[in-house]
């Protein structure tokens, strides 16, 4: 789904709720906790912006909904934030994008066991079935779409390296789909290391790859922040003409370079940070309408090419 389509979907969700605004105003006040990672890189910067914008808008629309937003730079702080929301604010619902899957599973399960509505966003928990609602991009498609491009545009015997994200269920889904797409292609994956969706970490990992491997034909960075770090490392080693790079998520800087025909960045794969808006709005609807809000809401991933890049370029966006 294009970012514009996602925003239309979010607007539809809001419109559905507008008919029940009187219900929200007459009913008991409900408190919705929103716990997300800090804006440590571009994607999370965009996601934080969309979260704040959505909370402001919904707070104005539904006076009986109160939102508590916390951001965390590591899993331990996020656990503490959630426990504090329960102890001091007695939240009725939690929207959580886990910093990491494993450390957040038990704390989020405790919220659910206390009878609260739980929405998990993007990075799933390590135990299935805890949440009422799951909202994410299509991580399997994210990896598969990239892998198919590698398969179709690399000769047999080509050598590639991979930069993974933070250890999470979604990272596993992406990498497994990427590997599956390459099965039987005779394209060799030389190495896979975690770049943690961080530009500086990716720069260091790519420097190591460049020192270890005299031949690299292409790089899957699996995130646009990491892609920028990779490109910096390649440029520092003066090996720009040897390999191309595919990231993901549709960062405006990357999309612009694709539009301009940058040979190092032939394509990209969508994964919009505005998915947090859909998650918060759908959670709010659980309290202001009779619409069923449980289940899974998955946003598709698409290939961004020079031919369609203009559809995905938003110069005024934060990401």
Give the side-chain half-sphere CA count within 13 A for 252: 11
- The mean per-residue pLDDT over the stretch 208-220 comes to 98
* Confidence band of 231 (pLDDT split at 50, 70, 90): very high
- The mean per-residue pLDDT over the stretch 28-48 comes to 92
pLDDT over threshold 70, residue 72: yes
- Predicted confidence at residue 272, as pLDDT, reads 87
- The mean per-residue pLDDT over the stretch 137-161 comes to 97
Max intra-chain CA distance, the chain: 68
Taking the C-alpha atoms of residue 253 and residue 83, their distance in angstroms, rounded to an integer, is 38
Beta-bridge mates of residue 219: 161, 245
Query: Mean pLDDT, the chain, as a whole number?
Result: 91
**Strand order in 159-164's β-sheet?**
188-194, 159-164, 218-220, 244-246
**3-138+272-300 fold:** Rossmann fold (3.40.50)
Decide: 273 and 50 in contact? Cβ < 8 Å: yes
Beta-bridge mates of residue 218: 160, 244
More confident residue, 259 or 167: 259
More confident residue, 257 or 3: 257
Tens digit of each residue's pLDDT (9 = 90 or more) over 77-98: 999 999 999 999 999 999 999 9
- The mean per-residue pLDDT over the stretch 141-161 comes to 97
Tell me whether domains 3-138+272-300 and 139-269 share a fold: yes
**What's the 3-state SS for 46-102?**
HHHHHHHHHHHHHHHHCCCEEEEEEEECCHHHHHHHHHHHHHHHCCCEEEECCCCHH
> What does residue 30 show for φ and ψ, rounded to 5 degrees?
-120, 140
Tens digit of each residue's pLDDT (9 = 90 or more) over 118-139: 999 998 899 999 999 999 999 9
pLDDT over threshold 80, residue 185: yes
- CATH (one of 3.40.50.2300, 3.30.70.260, 3.30.9.10, 3.40.190.10) for 139-269: 3.40.50.2300
pLDDT over threshold 90, residue 170: no
- Predicted confidence at residue 117, as pLDDT, reads 98
DSSP codes of every residue in 237-289: TT-GGG-EEE--B--HHHHHHHHTT-TT---EEB--TTHHHHHHHHHHHHHHS
pTM: 0.75
- Predicted confidence at residue 27, as pLDDT, reads 66
**Nearest alpha carbon to residue 260 among 223, 218, 305:** 305
Q: For the chain, what are the domain ranges?
A: 3-138+272-300, 139-269
Decide: 34 and 280 in contact? Cβ < 8 Å: yes
Tens digit of each residue's pLDDT (9 = 90 or more) over 17-30: 433 333 444 568 99
pLDDT over threshold 80, residue 245: yes
pLDDT over threshold 60, residue 171: yes
Helix (H, G, I), strand (E, B), or coil: what is residue 7?
A: helix
- The mean per-residue pLDDT over the stretch 48-63 comes to 95
Decide: 227 and 264 in contact? Cβ < 8 Å: no
Q: From residue 191, how far is each of 167, 188, 213, 219 by CA, in Å?
A: 16, 9, 10, 10
């Amino acid at each position: 789904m294009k970012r514009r389509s996602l925003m239309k979907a979010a607007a539809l969700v809001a419109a559905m709720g507008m008919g029940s605004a009187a219900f929200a105003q007459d009913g008991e006040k409900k408190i919705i906790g929103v716990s997300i990672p800090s804006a440590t890189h571009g994607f999370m910067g965009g996601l934080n912006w969309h979260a704040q914008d959505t909370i402001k808008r919904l707070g104005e629309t539904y006076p009986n909904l109160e939102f508590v937003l916390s951001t965390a730079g590591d899993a331990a702080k996020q656990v503490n934030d959630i426990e504090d929301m329960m102890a001091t604010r007695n939240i009725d619902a939690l929207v959580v994008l886990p910093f990491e899957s494993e450390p957040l599973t038990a704390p989020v399960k405790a919220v659910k066991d206390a009878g609260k509505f739980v929405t998990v966003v993007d990075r799933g928990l390590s135990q299935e079935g805890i949440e009422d609602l799951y909202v994410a991009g299509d991580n399997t498609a994210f990896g598969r779409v990239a892998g198919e491009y590698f398969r179709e545009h690399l000769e047999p015997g080509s050598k590639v390296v991979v930069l993974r994200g933070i250890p999470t269920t979604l990272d596993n889904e992406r990498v497994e789909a990427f590997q599956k797409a390459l099965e039987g292609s005779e394209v060799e994956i030389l190495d896979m290391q975690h770049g943690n969706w961080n530009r500086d970490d990716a720069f260091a990992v790519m420097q190591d790859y460049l020192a270890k491997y005299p031949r690299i034909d292409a790089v899957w960075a699996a995130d646009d922040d990491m892609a920028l770090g990779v490109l910096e490392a390649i440029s520092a080693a003066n090996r720009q003409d040897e390999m191309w790079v595919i990231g993901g998520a549709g960062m405006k800087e990357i999309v612009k370079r694709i539009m301009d025909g940058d040979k190092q960045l032939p394509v990209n794969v969508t994964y919009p940070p505005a998915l947090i808006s859909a998650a918060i709005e759908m959670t709010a609807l659980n309290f202001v309408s009779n619409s069923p809000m449980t289940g899974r809401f998955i946003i598709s991933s698409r290939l961004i090419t020079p031919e369609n890049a203009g559809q995905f370029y938003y110069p005024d966006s934060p990401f």
